[in-house]
Structure 1
Amino acid sequence: MTINQQNSLGYLTNMIARQFAQLIGQELAPLGLNPAYLPVLFELWDGQELTQQELTEKSSVSQATMANTLGRMERDGLIERLPNPNDARSRLIRLTSAALAKKDNCVAAAQKINNGVLEALDEQEIKAWLDIMNKVVQRQKQMLG
């Protein structure tokens, strides 16, 4: 099979991700949030405190990307860094009350985009697509080691 834009897994995955980021960015901007903040917010909204390394691992981003994201979130008043009682070399990251107050609106924005995108599919297609995407994610994790 000749690879083109219609059958290239890499091209289509990249296109979906970029368009989705644009859509969610438009919804989050009025809340003063950036799509890059979402992995951190979703990990910490339940009140837990994690180190930068733990957030990096859970989010599957580079250490440098996480450091930059946390720096912007701290600047925006969304996180605070606390001493880690188990390791003096690291800090624990916790959401501020300002970040916690944005949870409902942020989740609603994400649901709006998810629902809007999924309107193109019926229930069976949605289930199949999510199953396939989860399998691909797991396979790529295996390939990455």
Structure 2
Amino acid sequence: MAFDRMDSATYLASLLAKSFSRALQERGQKLGFAPGQFPVLLELWSEEGLTQRQLLDRVDIEQATMANTLARMERDGLIHRKKHPTDKRAQQIFLTDKARAMEAEAKAAAIAADQSHFSDFRHFERELMLEYMRKAIVNGARS
């Protein structure tokens, strides 16, 4: 049986992820954030004061990637760190006023990136695709 990459969900998911990332990058760059920073921003907009370990667990990326992302976000004026009040080894991460001020526009940029990819979809097709994506993510987490 021949392998056709266009019948491979793994291959197509990779292409789709890159395409979504590019769409978000174009929009986010104007606001001052990179696509890799967006999941961290979403978590911190939801709950500030998380530690790097808590962010790692929520965003599910490698330790080194998280450390680099946070360093870049700090350099770009999006976050600042404070010593954890009870754990001397940990730091809590807080948003700056700049990052708080961009929340609505950043979320709108993500919605626009989504809409650009789903523009020819009927509502139920988009909902089905999202349902299937969530199901595949859950299945992948089990493996």
**TM-score for the superposition, normalised by structure 1:** 0.94
Code of the aligned partner of 1:25: Q
Identity %: 36
Task: Report the alpha carbon displacement of residue 121 of structure 1 after superposing the two structures with TM.
Answer: 1.2
C-alpha separation in 1, matches of 2:103 and 2:109: 10
C-alpha separation in 2, matches of 1:89 and 1:48: 18
Give CA-to-partner distance per residue, 1:11-31, whole Å, 9 cap, x none: 100000011111110111111
Which runs of no fewer than 5 residues in structure 2 stay unpaired? none
Q: Which runs of 4+ in 1 moved over 4 A?
A: none
1:131 paired to 2:119: no
User: Does the aligned pair in 2 maintain the 1:44–1:95 contact within 8 Å?
Assistant: yes
**Structure 2 equivalent of residue 37 of structure 1:** 37
Which runs of no fewer than 5 residues in structure 1 stay unpaired? none
**Structure 1 equivalent of residue 90 of structure 2:** 90
Aligned length: 143
C-alpha separation in 1, matches of 2:57 and 2:51: 10
Give CA-to-partner distance per residue, 1:71-104, whole Å, 9 cap, x none: 0000011101111112111000111111001111
Code of the aligned partner of 1:7: D
C-alpha separation in 2, matches of 1:11 and 1:77: 36
Helix, strand or coil: the match of 2:46? coil
Give CA-to-partner distance per residue, 1:103-124, whole Å, 9 cap, x none: 1111111111111211121112
61-70 or 107-116, which moves further after superposition?
Answer: 107-116
Alignment of 1:61-100 (within 5 A): 61-100=61-100
User: Does the aligned pair in 2 maintain the 1:47–1:95 contact within 8 Å?
Assistant: no
1:22 paired to 2:22: yes
Helix, strand or coil: the match of 1:138? helix
Helix, strand or coil: the match of 1:6? helix
65-74 or 22-31, which moves further after superposition?
Answer: 22-31
C-alpha separation in 2, matches of 1:12 and 1:64: 27
**Structure 1 equivalent of residue 54 of structure 2:** 54
Code of the aligned partner of 1:10: T
**TM-score for the superposition, normalised by structure 2:** 0.95
C-alpha separation in 1, matches of 2:131 and 2:3: 24
C-alpha separation in 2, matches of 1:39 and 1:6: 28
Code of the aligned partner of 1:12: L
C-alpha separation in 2, matches of 1:134 and 1:30: 29
